[in-house]
């Protein structure tokens, strides 16, 4: 296997929960030596659900694969100084953290001792207030447009999207800072607020501009895709699928696959609707869906899948997490068998990035203080 891209880079991670551990995992999967710093007894997220039958956190072991772990009494100045010494004497080092409670471990304190240190701090809000993914969701509008149209209550998304985006933003920022350090020798202080990630994304996707410059008010639309055509259907044998139509070519192929070309041509002529336009398909989605639903209701899944796949329609059947291992989805090169203590052998993901045709195999997440001796010696 070729040398990993980040071989030789030391990352000290002082963090918990999702965003900063994901940042560390992303760097570890590219070959960085990521040292996870925890308080004595372990970080509070080591017991977070889901759990294995033995009580081990599958969440924690998933986000901390391939890292080393040290346990230090961060409640004492001596413990914090020990971690600061590790950072200062580790060579050019990267620090990622989601806490600024430790004065010895701030960028100001560390850069005074080592000017080339790179330090990334994740905050909840830019004003210093606390926030987590679900409170950020509430503050930024997304739960009010998520869920069935008939449901008035807000719906928080089960996927912690802002944590995930923040973790990847942090990794990108740290690698950009490392590039500058290699060129100039300069250190960098990076700060990222979780709420800013959500607000920036809402702005970049046009949600906030729409609210400012139009009188449109975005509402819930269930599984419809705003501004284009997409919806879920149930086949004759009870299998639920989703289809998405983005272009005129997609639309023509869908009509050919379902045998509805002539039907929609007649509708277009009688009603004066140009179904080849994306906006028209969205505006008349209920009419389109009523006809498509009839086709799915009389077509078994196997036949529907053959027609949709044969015409290269954007579609997929809905699958539960439990179905994925049985479906063969974990048999590809993205996954490898990992024997994690407290969990047992299972298929675990490598990095989604393929580097020079290969990816590093996953390695087990560490036990509490497992690497104290070799890291702090």
Catalytic residues: 163
**Omega cis (within 30) before 50:** yes
Is there a contact between 49 and 25 (Cβ–Cβ < 8 Å)?
A: no
- In the beta sheet, which residues pair with residue 14? 97
Query: What's phi and psi for 111, nearest 5 deg?
Result: -70, -25
Is there a contact between 6 and 32 (Cβ–Cβ < 8 Å)?
A: yes
Residue 245, classed as helix, strand or coil, is strand
- Strands of the 33-38 sheet, one edge to the other: 68-71, 33-38, 10-14, 93-97, 118-123, 188-193
DSSP 80-133: HHHHHHHHHTSSSEEEEES----GGGSHHHHHHH-TT-EEEEEESSTTS----H
List Cβ neighbours of 216 (8 Å cut-off, separation of 6 or more): 210
List Cβ neighbours of 236 (8 Å cut-off, separation of 6 or more): 296, 297, 298, 299, 300, 301
């Amino acid at each position: 296997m070729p040398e990993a891209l980040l071989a030789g880079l030391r990352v000290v991670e002082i963090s918990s929960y999702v965003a900063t551990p994901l940042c560390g995992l992303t760097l570890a999967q590219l070959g960085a030596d990521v040292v996870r710093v925890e308080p004595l007894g372990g970080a509070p997220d080591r017991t977070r659900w889901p759990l294995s039958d033995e009580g081990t956190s599958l969440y924690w072991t998933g986000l901390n694969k391939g890292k080393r772990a040290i346990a230090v009494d961060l409640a004492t100045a001596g413990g914090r100084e020990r971690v600061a010494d590790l950072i200062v004497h580790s060579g050019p080092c990267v620090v990622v953290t989601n806490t600024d409670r430790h004065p010895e471990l701030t960028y100001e304190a560390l850069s005074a001792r080592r000017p080339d240190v790179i330090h990334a701090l994740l905050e909840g809000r830019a004003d210093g207030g606390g926030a987590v993914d679900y409170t950020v969701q509430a503050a930024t509008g997304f739960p009010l447009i998520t869920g069935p149209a008939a449901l008035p209550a807000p719906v928080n998304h089960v996927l912690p999207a802002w944590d995930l985006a923040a973790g990847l933003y942090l990794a990108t920022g740290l690698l950009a800072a490392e590039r500058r350090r290699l060129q100039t020798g300069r250190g960098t202080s990076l700060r990222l607020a979780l709420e800013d990630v959500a607000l920036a994304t809402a702005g970049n996707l046009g949600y906030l501009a729409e609210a400012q410059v139009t009188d449109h008010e975005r509402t819930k639309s269930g599984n419809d895709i705003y501004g284009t055509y997409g919806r879920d259907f149930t086949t004759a044998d009870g299998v639920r699928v989703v289809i998405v139509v983005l272009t005129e070519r997609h639309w023509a192929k869908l009509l050919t696959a379902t045998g509805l070309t002539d039907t929609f041509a007649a509708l277009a002529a009688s009603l004066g609707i140009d179904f080849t336009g994306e906006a028209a398909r969205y505006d008349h989605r209920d009419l389109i869906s009523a006809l498509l639903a009839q086709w799915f209701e009389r077509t078994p899944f196997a036949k529907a899948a053959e027609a949709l796949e044969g015409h290269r329609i954007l579609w997929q059947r809905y699958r539960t997490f439990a179905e994925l291992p049985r479906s063969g989805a974990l048999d590809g090169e993205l996954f490898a068998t990992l024997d994690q203590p407290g969990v047992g052998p299972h298929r675990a993901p490598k990095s989604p990035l393929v580097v020079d045709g290969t990816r590093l195999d996953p390695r087990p997440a560490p036990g509490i203080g497992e690497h104290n001796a070799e890291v702090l010696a």
